[in-house]
Each structure stands twice: as C-alpha cells, then as structure tokens.
Structure 1
C-alpha cells in the first residue's frame, strides 16, 4: 500500500464516540441528542462519525458490563450519562477519555477528586441543583408548606447528595424533608403512596429511578390530591406541576462541547468540570388543576414554558 493510499485510509477512519446512560427517559435522551447535535455541527457526522448508545436499563450491574464492553471496543471517547453510568465507565477505563454528563455530585460519586483540572482521563458536566431555589419555588405554589416528601433511590449517589442539600436548605426555612426510599422502579408508586398524609407536596429530584417511573408518582398525586413537583423540566410535560431546572438538551450541548475539545486534542484531565448553565421554569396548569393547586399569576408571568 502506498503512503498516499495509507494516508487516505487513516483519514477515512471515523471518530468513534460510545455513549451510555443508566436508563432511557426523556431527560437523558435529550442529553444524548444534544451531544450528537454538537458533534454534527463540528464536522463529526455521516461517514466521519461512529456514534453508539447502550442503556443499562436502570441496573448498575448492567452499567458495569456495558462500560467494560465499551472499553474493549476502544472508542475515541466514552460519554457516560448520569451518575451510575459515569461511575461504571470511570472504573472500567484509566486510559480512554471519559466524559460524564448530568452527574450531580462528581466528587461525592468519586468520578473525579477535583472539579478543577481533574487529572487522569475523566472530566464532564455537573447538574447539581440549587436546593434553596427549589424549596422557595415550592413555597410560592404552596405557601403553608412545612413538609416535603422526596421519593428517591438511596443507591444513587446523586440522589443522596440532593437529599442532603435539601435538608440543609430546609433547616433554615422551617421545612421538614421526609424521605421515601425506592430502590427499584417497581417501588416508586409504593414510595409515593407512603408520603400521602405525611407530606404537603411530593418533590421528585433528578433521580433516574424515580424519573423513569414518574407516571406512578403523578397518579398518586392526582388520586390523593397531593401536589407533585420536580427538578427536571422534562418531567413537567409528563405531569409534574412545575420545575425550575435545566434544559437537558442544552446540557447535552454543553457536554458535546467538551467531547469536541477532546477529539481535537485536549486531555480530559486538563479540562475543568463544567457546571450546568441556564435555569428554566416550566409550569403545567392542567396538572395543577388536577392536583388542586391554584397557580399564582406571578409564577405564570415568570414561566419559560406553560403547558396547558
């Protein structure tokens, strides 16, 4: 083979980006779509890009299997969406660049030891919420609020971090956080029902187990007339009354920009972990009515999107 032919062959090799997520639901799907969109905009598309995706189906054990398989496939970059998948990818590879996305507490999850110049082969994007901002919003909807019920999976490090942040913020606001564990998606409805009569509202954090079974929580909210809120704006279109949070498609685009920097030669360990940008307020007026909540005009005037 001549040098010219060899050069063309090497240039024709597509960039290989392997993506994985702990589970498929609209928010995480939007992250993946945003990543691919940015890759396409930067010339990685068609024959120039091999872009794969595998879901761990909500199972950390499968996440570990997927990560090991991806390492064996030797992609240029592994993109791991959500905390359990990020933990699995980081454990599986110490050499292939790993970019995590929507990991709430990267240090607590032990995917990096520092948010600044993390070193090694890992960097990514954190979507940690502003816990006080979340609780202030709930009080605007329910002024008499004193108790907030939070269904969550205690096996998700990100959810434990959110619970702790909510407790700290609630302490200074006269609010009590009531935890309701749901280790599996099949436990979500039971966890929601256990909050009826105990909590003034149900708040669904960015917990993949809860969000994947959100409709179960919404049903409990309607049946028991207990308002359901979320920290994930995509959940409002699925039935939560409101959420103040990030546009997950935009978070995917932020993640995609990091991936592009690595494909162009930057070392992941030299790239600071990014924080989610932008905060939108989504309100579902129909669901508010079904759960017995009057939406203040002041909130409607501030809403980024109103779903009727």
Structure 2
C-alpha cells in the first residue's frame, strides 16, 4: 500500500469517530416527564411532531429521555431527579405535579411546561409576564376553567343547586382549583361542597358519600383518574364535568377546556427558543386563546338529561 494512501485511510478512520463525537455533542437531550393521567398519549404524539415541524429530528439533532410515573404520582420526584442526573438540556413536564417535581429537582436546567394549571399560584413562576427562574411554558388555565365548568353544568342542568368539587389532595393545584370553584359558586348562587381525596382508592368511597348527600352535579379535577370518575358518576347517576377533553370521551357528561393541541405545539416553540439560547426567565408564560366544549349526549340520555340545542350548537364536539 502506498504511504500516502495509508495516511489517507488512517486519517479518514480517525476522522469518523471525531465527526461522530462532534455530531453527538450537537444532539440536545430533552427530558420528558409525564403524569400518567388520561390524555398524556395525545401530548406524546403531538409534541414530538411539532418539534419535527421545526426541524428537530429524534436521533439526529435531538433525543428524548421519556419518564412516566405510571399512575403513581409519588414517583415523580425520583424520576425528575433521574433526568437531572442524566444532565438533559431541558425538561418538558406534562401536568402540574410533574412540573413541580422538575422544579424541585433543579434550579438550573430549563423547564418548559407543556400544560400546567395556575403556574403562579403553585409557585412554578413568579408571574406570567416575567417568570423568573428556570421555568416557563403553557398555563392551561385549569383553575379558571374549573369555574367555567360550574357555569356549564348549570346551563346543562339548571336545577343543579349543589355541586361537589372533587379534588386531588396530592396535587398542589387543588387549592387553586377549589378556590376558583368556590368563587364560581358564589357568582352563580350554587352551593359548593369540596371533596378531597388522596389517591384513586378513595374514589369509590367519595362517590358513595356524594351520592348520599343529594349532590346535584360534580366538577372533577383533571389530575384525578378521570375514566374511573366518569364511570362512577354514571353509576351513581350524577352529572359530572371536567376541564379536560378526555373526560367526556371516557363517559363524563361534558368538558370545557383550553385547546391543548395548541399548547403542545407551543411547547415545541418554547423548546426551539431555549435551544437557540433564550432563557426561561425572559419568556412570558403562554395562555390558551381558544376554548372548546365537548358534550357526551349518550351520557346525558343515560342520566335523563336533555341538552338544549343552543348548548349543542356551541359544542366543538358532540359524542352521540
């Protein structure tokens, strides 16, 4: 072999691992931390697609470290700490408990909330306009929307004078959730009964108690097991609503919510800005500008409720 050819081949062989290492250094690692509540699959489908639309390809210039609590919220702090140990470039949590766990785990790594409720009230950010710290993203307005669900249930069931607010004690967001519902109750002349549970095992007992207290309707906090809540509401023949799209699809009566698909796409835009050098503290929190109503007419019929045509006309989705 010619000496020149040998040098060329050896040089090329050396360059390959150097190029590979350089390429690896240019791959951003995105930690994704989800609370396994109904609807997370939709987020996990739309968020990576939104990143692809912006030119970020998994395995090429980004890679994901995905972690789910598998339905056990108590696992979130450990999972967040694991992402920090992996030295991910940023963390994208889905749902407020995941975001709080991420913030507790790090004050340095940027955190982009895909959909979190009351980011100021839960301490995630200092203000919506100037978040401060290492957290920004999307506020889903779930506390305020919870109040809207009280108005919605009063529209669908005008006779509902006593409404239970079913809250998740393990989720710090429950305080904002209950506060907004109480305010909505005062505004609409509705008696609000707070019902706090600590885990899914308490759902059955909670519904048995609500059924025995002549509860006219229920507003369900989104971080609870909404499918089970919808099933129990139907079995006890209590109209139930939630500020989450999946709830009526799982058999609940209705939902009023911010368009989460837009939030997941916006989360990708935040990621793009961070990877290009922006700081979370300087990026204002985004809030939904589009709101949707879903009504499950099949459930309404099972409950003996006739939904007025005017409400159905406003609905973005009607489940027959």
TM-score (normalised: structure 1) = 0.91
The answer for the alignment partner of 1:198 in structure 2 is 214
Q: 1:226 to 1:255 in 2, by over 3 A?
A: same
Shift of 1:198: 2.9
The answer for the alignment partner of 1:215 in structure 2 is 227
The answer for the alignment partner of 1:135 in structure 2 is 150
Shift of 1:7: 5.8
Contact 1:180 1:192 in 2 (8 A): no
The answer for the alignment partner of 2:94 in structure 1 is 81
Name which one, 1 or 2, has greater alpha-carbon Rg: 2
The answer for the alignment partner of 1:177 in structure 2 is 192
The answer for the alignment partner of 1:157 in structure 2 is 172
Q: 1:285 aligns with which of 297, 305, 312?
A: 297
The answer for the alignment partner of 1:32 in structure 2 is 44
The answer for the alignment partner of 1:42 in structure 2 is 54
Please give the alpha-carbon distance, in whole angstroms, between the structure 2 residues aligned to 1:72 and 1:11. Answer: 22
Please give the alpha-carbon distance, in whole angstroms, between the structure 2 residues aligned to 1:192 and 1:139. Answer: 20
Q: 1:61 to 1:244 in 2, by over 3 A?
A: closer
The answer for the alignment partner of 1:21 in structure 2 is 34
* Higher mean displacement: 286-295 or 53-62: 53-62
The answer for the alignment partner of 1:305 in structure 2 is 317
Please give the alpha-carbon distance, in whole angstroms, between the structure 2 residues aligned to 1:63 and 1:130. Answer: 25
Report SS of the residue matched to 1:138.
helix
Please give the alpha-carbon distance, in whole angstroms, between the structure 2 residues aligned to 1:94 and 1:221. Answer: 41
The answer for the alignment partner of 2:79 in structure 1 is 66
* Higher mean displacement: 44-53 or 293-302: 44-53
Contact 2:77 2:101 in 1 (8 A): yes
RMSD between aligned alpha carbons? 2.1
The answer for the alignment partner of 2:5 in structure 1 is none
Q: Which runs of 5+ in 2 are unaligned?
A: 1-10
Report SS of the residue matched to 2:195.
strand
Report SS of the residue matched to 1:110.
coil
Contact 1:31 1:253 in 2 (8 A): no
Please give the alpha-carbon distance, in whole angstroms, between the structure 2 residues aligned to 1:267 and 1:4. Answer: 35
Q: 1:26 to 1:289 in 2, by over 3 A?
A: same
TM-score (normalised: structure 2) = 0.88
Q: Determine which structure has greater relative contact order: mean sequence separation of CA pairs < 8 Å that are 6+ residues apart, divided by chain length.
A: 1
Are 1:234 and 2:249 counterparts? no
The answer for the alignment partner of 1:53 in structure 2 is 66
Q: Which runs of 5+ in 1 are unaligned?
A: none
